[in-house]
Amino acid sequence: MRIIAGKAGRTAIKVPSAVARPTTDFVRQAVFSILGEKVENARVLDLYAGSGALGLEGLSRGASSCTFVDEHRQAIQVITENLAKARLDGGHTVKSEVNLFLKRDATAYHLIFADPPYWKFYGDKDHVTDLLKSGLIPPRLVPNGWLVVEISSHQKSPEADDFTLIARREYGSSAILIYSAK
């Protein structure tokens, strides 16, 4: 895995062993092509951060800051190492369960990335639907801010009263969903 473009482009990044499915270079390239200039000077929140690949890419492409949230100690350690190796400023790691972090945090973000474990089988926790229906994301988005979510391409796009689905793009086994708050 590597950072694709920007000031840290081509920098190899580590992936913690706890991360079973990091966002591929191809999918990240597609996401950042869609986001375009929205990344420049943006405050970014990377939830379920794993390796931090999405937030690192944002910082490399000109985001002013990124808060990386993951509940796994190894993920936080790897993100810290990746930030240092890429020499990217503005990154901050938080070891926390996502909903607990969102309940404590008062920052408004331009972009929020969420790449939780995929829903695979009936009865599995559907992190995306829970996140959308929690009421915790809309207060964290600036006006015209976007929530960018990665799910399995086999999964239907979750809906919630507080959000409008702007786009769904499928790339192999992954689907990228872009939401705006109503």
Which DSSP category does 35 fall into? H
pLDDT of residue 109: 98
pLDDT higher than threshold 80 for residue 120 = no
Half-sphere exposure (Cβ direction) of 11: Cα atoms closer than 13 Å: 22
pLDDT of residue 125: 72
H-type helices in the chain, by residue range?
25-35, 53-60, 73-86, 98-104, 127-133
- Rounded Cα distance, 129 and 127, in Å: 6
pLDDT higher than threshold 70 for residue 119 = no
Which CATH code is given to the segment(s) 25-125+142-181? 3.40.50.150
Two structure tokens written together for 133: 């229906």
